[in-house]
């Protein structure tokens, strides 16, 4: 090997050592950060998996309690789901448990179950609607109206109308039933029920071809 080649290699190695002395700490820091990120991601995946497994077990516990008519056990498992903030598991379990409680004649327990759920989006609206119906039936129409005060979908409008009927406010209820009917398709299965409520409130069912 020529002297010039040896000098070039020596010069290159010196440059590498010099670069490492200047940047070594940053390189090591980057490696540490990368390792921490990998380990953190692995921990989070394991943690999430464990949470989902526990949520699934509690959800199955709720269903098992319902199926065996042990609603107290189902309610305890439901409470565990709520504390764990397990999303869709909590929402579905709450709806199933509340339905079973109503069928068992325990409407107040069903109201308590649905009040404890903090869902999001469409699921929260569905839970609020179920809760509002129970509140109307329980003689608490004012609470039902407050719960659905800003909801303008056809189901919520119908429930708000029911609450106003319970308060003796037929004229206001009639307006809400009419608005609910206006948003329903002619072939919608619940249309006939809303029409009957509108007529009972003193309204006239319009021709579907005409605007309300």
- Measured distance CA(94)–CA(88) in Å, rounded: 10
HSE of 127 in the Cβ direction (CA atoms, 13 Å)? 25
Confidence at residue 63, expressed as pLDDT on a 0 to 100 scale: 78
What is the pLDDT, as a whole number, of residue 31? 53
**Is the pTM of the predicted complex or chain greater than 0.85?**
no
Q: What is the pLDDT of residue 130?
A: 93
What is residue 124's predicted lDDT score, i.e. its pLDDT? 87
- Predicted pLDDT at 41: 45
pLDDT value of position 26: 57
Confidence at residue 206, expressed as pLDDT on a 0 to 100 scale: 78
- pLDDT, residue 33, reads 56
Over the chain (212 residues), the average pLDDT of each successive run of 10 is: 50 63 58 53 48 66 78 79 66 86 91 84 87 96 95 94 96 94 87 92 75 50
101, 71 Cβ separation under 8 angstroms: yes
DSSP 171: H
CA–CA separation, 60 and 108 (whole Å): 23
CA distance 152 to 167: 20
């Amino acid at each position: 090997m020529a002297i010039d080649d040896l000098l070039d290699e020596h010069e290159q190695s010196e440059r590498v050592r010099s670069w490492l002395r200047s940047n070594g700490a940053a390189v090591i820091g980057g490696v540490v950060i990368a390792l921490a990120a990998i380990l953190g991601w692995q921990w989070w995946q394991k943690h999430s998996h464990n949470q989902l497994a526990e949520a699934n077990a509690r959800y199955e516990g709720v269903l098992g309690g319902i199926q065996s008519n042990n609603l107290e056990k189902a309610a305890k498992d439901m409470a565990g789901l709520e504390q764990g903030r397990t999303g869709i598991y909590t929402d579905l379990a709450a709806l199933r448990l509340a339905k079973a409680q109503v069928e068992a004649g325990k409407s107040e327990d069903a109201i308590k179950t649905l009040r404890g759920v903090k869902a999001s989006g469409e699921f929260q609206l569905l839970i609020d609607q179920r809760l509002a119906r129970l509140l109307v039936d329980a003689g608490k129409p004012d609470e039902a109206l407050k719960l659905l005060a800003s909801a303008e979908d056809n189901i919520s409008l119908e429930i708000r109308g029911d609450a106003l009927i319970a308060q003796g406010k037929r004229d206001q209820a009639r307006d809400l039933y009419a608005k609910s009917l206006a948003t329903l398709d002619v072939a919608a299965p619940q249309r006939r029920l809303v029409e009957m409520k509108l007529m009972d409130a003193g309204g006239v069912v319009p021709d579907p071809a005409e605007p309300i």
